Amino acid sequence: MPRVFEDRAKALLRDAGVAVPRGRSVSTPEEAAEAARAIGGPVMVKALVPAGKRGKAGAILAAETPGEAEDAARKLLGRTVHHFPVKRLLVEERVSITQEWYLSIAFDSASRGPLVMFSTEGGVEVEALLEENPDALKRLEVDILEGLSEERCIPFLRATGVQGEALYRAAMALEACYALFRRTEARLLEVNPLVLTDTTEVIAAACVLDLDADALFRHPELEELLDEDSGGGWRPPTPAEARVAEIDASVPPYNTARFTEIEGGEIALMWSGGGGGLYLLDTMARLGGAPATAFDITPGPLEEKYFEITKEILRMPNVRGVLAGSNITSFSRVQLKVRAIARAVEETGVDLAEFPFIVRFAGAGGEEAREIAAGCPDLQYLGDEVTLEEAAERIIAQVEAVKRGESWMSAGGVQ
């Protein structure tokens, strides 16, 4: 899920009518001092990284003066927070807090529509909130065809314990947040904390906005807000992941490959179909194999994309063998993928006598695929005579044999 950095998400919130702290994003200590001076008074200096739990990680620092803001910026810039390098900071006014609330809007797979969650005990991680006082977290299911009006927001918020003038302002904020969630086609909008100030203002002090990669084609203005670290991963992409992402974005059909490098792995998995890819990872784990990649690609005629990605995988230095394939396919012309593999092997010059490479494809195009595989020396082709588990068992045994200095053919290879 592409994540919009906090400064940009707050600009969207402000435009939607939700008050946010006055702030400025900076990328040098000097700019941080200047921003603090312009804001006036005490500020917060926050590392802009697409990860949660920044407070605990020491990535949010308080500063009383421009000088302190500059020092804080010096400490944060260039640091790594939850695997992400800190390249930019958000310097913003420190708001006076009377109450801290939690607000999120996301889709709920049970009601299959938008779900608002709100608690007057915000300011802590939602996990802590659920653990310590789950009853304080109230839920409001929204009928997406009706939307969310003030008339529903007010009774809902009143029931959570919000009162008086704050109730009206909180309802306005919730209504505006919902409108932003819908307009941006977001997967998640979380405001934590939503702050009630000592002057009864309601301010979004921190927020997370996750977009829907499948809806971005309708929102070029939002796509511009993303950068290379906004991909939604738990860490920035590795060089191989970045190259595969580039291939995925430049070779049609776009946005069809999912690729994750697994540290310490040695068997690359190349699968078609998400469920099968997941099952294969499970199977490898159960059998004691060490997958080097979690890669799955939408079933379909994707020869060029498959060719480019296979080359990337064959060039990964830690990979000692490959298992590629899919479920028994109905329609996806597996011969195209086998041809892509044969071409990639030839172009990279990998000697499959030393490097076990098993493909397990069956179904539409299977016979032609088997013939293509036969033309690629030492490429092992398995069809529906074996199950996925048997194919996994074989590649693990073969890689072990190669590591012992033996031929993989001694470990149940087929030619």
- Which residues contact other proteins by CB under 8 A? 107, 109-110, 112-114, 126-127, 130, 143-145, 182, 185, 187, 212, 214-215, 217-218, 232-235, 255, 258, 260, 272-279, 281-283, 285-286, 294, 296, 298-299, 326-331, 363-364, 384, 387-389
Quote the CA–CA distance of 236 and 312 in Å, as a whole number. Answer: 18
Q: Which is nearer to other proteins, 7 or 296 (CB)?
A: 296
Quote the CA–CA distance of 223 and 271 in Å, as a whole number. Answer: 29
Nearest to 204 by CA among 123, 138, 130, 276: 123
Q: Which is nearer to other proteins, 396 or 401 (CB)?
A: 396
Q: Which is nearer to other proteins, 85 or 377 (CB)?
A: 85
Q: What residues contact 263, with CB distance under 8 A and at least 6 apart?
A: none
Q: Which is nearer to other proteins, 85 or 253 (CB)?
A: 253
Q: Which is nearer to other proteins, 137 or 322 (CB)?
A: 137
Q: Which is nearer to other proteins, 111 or 200 (CB)?
A: 111
CB of 113 to other proteins, least distance (A): 5
**358 near 383, Cβ under 8 Å?**
no
CB of 245 to other proteins, least distance (A): 15
Beta strands, E only, 128-185: 138-141
Cα distances from 273 to residues 172, 280, 286, 413, in angstroms, run: 43, 11, 20, 25
CB of 55 to other proteins, least distance (A): 16
CB of 340 to other proteins, least distance (A): 19
CB of 272 to other proteins, least distance (A): 7
Nearest to 157 by CA among 138, 179, 141: 138
Q: What residues contact 137, with CB distance under 8 A and at least 6 apart?
A: 102, 117, 118, 119, 126, 129, 130
CB of 213 to other proteins, least distance (A): 8
Q: Which is nearer to other proteins, 172 or 216 (CB)?
A: 216
CB of 152 to other proteins, least distance (A): 16
**237 near 245, Cβ under 8 Å?**
yes
Q: At what angle do helices 303-314 and 334-348 cross, to 10 degrees?
A: 40
